[in-house]
Amino acid sequence: MVTPFSPDGSVNYTVAERLADHLVRHGSDGLVICGTTGESPTLTWDEEYQLFKTVKQAVAGRAKVIAGTGSNSTHEAIEATRKASHLGLDGALQVVPYYNKPSQEGLYLHFSQIAQAVPDLPLMLYNIPGRTGCNLAVDTVVRLAQVPNIVAIKEASGSLDQVSQIRCHTADDFLIYSGDDSLTLPILAVGGSGVVSVASHLVGPQLQRMIQAYEVGNVKLAASLHCSLLPLFKVLFVTTNPVPVKAALTLEGWDVGSVRLPLCAPEASVEAAIAEVIKQIPTMVSEARPL
């Protein structure tokens, strides 16, 4: 979920509450708060903690609430995760430590120590080497999947081979989520469970329909929905996330504000491209049909 900001740059908790309710009513089974899309690098821990409380209250048990409490400091990640766990949230997203580029053994120790520190809270690993500069290797994921409360991974490496290898070497109850909307359907095909989505801010019901169609064996309908939504998936990453999705939400009438520096508003040409795709969404979806 994006983090809404007021004109003065402060977190707009009122809009966050409304947006959380909207997402749950429009296809989201759970919400990740203070992840990449939520601009976690520029939020304070106090702002994040208040967002966790706000969204938990707004959701009121209708969907899972997962706290983005990862850090490139193991100590900070443990403390943030402990604090979030006291709120009774449903899990925590733990990103691969960024900038310091640990070894695979360092990654294993980082995640396993967080898990041991908060043993009752389910954890989802988050592999996004394009942002962190470090890939969480398959062998390391397999080792971590044996830790009782490490139950899932958000895979945003862009490698279907890597996802396939994780699936082949982990138990069926270890869940794999796509970290890229455009790879949701391919990842489902190799044993994935769903997507931690950006596009769900705009087309949550359609994403649910695509996943459900695949799960009941209607692969042609799922593929058609995938193709119809692909232009949106692509335009939402035409520049750094969450710049495009915040622009799209603004076009849709949501007062989510801008992004915090060092991110900045999109150029006029980018905004125009986003607006053009947004206008086409109703047509794309209504024309989706089995191929």
pLDDT, tens only, 21-30: 999 999 999 9
Q: Look at residue 281 in the predicted model and tell me its pLDDT.
A: 78
Strand partners, 178: 155, 195
Task: Reduce the DSSP state of residue 153 to 3 states and report it.
Answer: strand
Task: Indicate the residue type of 219.
Answer: V
126 carries an active-site annotation: yes
Sign of the dihedral through C-alpha 96, 97, 100, 103:
negative
Residue written as tokens 């929905």?
Answer: 225
Assess contact for 53 and 83: CB atoms under 8 A.
no
Nearest to 140 by CA among 112, 174, 120: 112
Over residues 61-88, mean pLDDT: 97
Q: How sure is the predictor about 291, in pLDDT bands with cuts at 50, 70 and 90?
A: very low
Interacting residues of 146 by C-beta distance below 8 A, sequence separation 6+: none
Instruction: Using alpha carbons, list the distances in angstroms from residue 98 to 20, 158, 196, 203.
Output: 28, 18, 20, 30
Check whether 123 has a pLDDT greater than 80: yes
Both tokens of 138, joined, read 């398959």
Q: Look at residue 192 in the predicted model and tell me its pLDDT.
A: 98
Instruction: Using alpha carbons, list the distances in angstroms from residue 48 to 38, 40, 42, 67.
Output: 10, 8, 10, 9
Check whether 290 has a pLDDT greater than 60: no
pLDDT tens figures, 138-170: 999 999 999 999 999 999 999 999 999 999 999
Around Cβ 282, how many Cβ atoms within 10 Å?
9
Assess contact for 120 and 87: CB atoms under 8 A.
no
Q: Greater confidence, 279 or 10?
A: 10
Q: Look at residue 41 in the predicted model and tell me its pLDDT.
A: 95
Q: Look at residue 235 in the predicted model and tell me its pLDDT.
A: 97
Pairing of strands 64-68, 30-33: parallel
Mean pLDDT in the chain? 95
pLDDT over 90, % of the chain:
96
Active-site pick, 13, 126, 177, 214:
126
Q: Look at residue 166 in the predicted model and tell me its pLDDT.
A: 98
Assess contact for 95 and 128: CB atoms under 8 A.
yes
Q: How far apart are CA 271 and CA 50, in angstroms?
A: 31
Active-site pick, 56, 154, 177, 214:
154
pLDDT tens figures, 234-288: 999 999 999 999 999 999 999 999 999 999 999 999 999 999 999 887 655 554 4
C-beta pairs of 76-81 under 8 Å, 24+ apart in sequence:
77/110, 77/114, 78/113, 78/114, 78/117, 78/118, 80/45, 80/48, 81/114, 81/117, 81/118, 81/121, 81/123
154 carries an active-site annotation: yes
Check whether 126 has a pLDDT greater than 60: yes
**DSSP calls for 30-47:** EEEESSTTTTGGGS-HHH
Over residues 223-238, mean pLDDT: 96
Count Cβ atoms within 10 A of the Cβ of residue 10 and give its class: 0-12 exposed, 13-18 middle, 19 or more buried: exposed
Assess contact for 153 and 141: CB atoms under 8 A.
yes
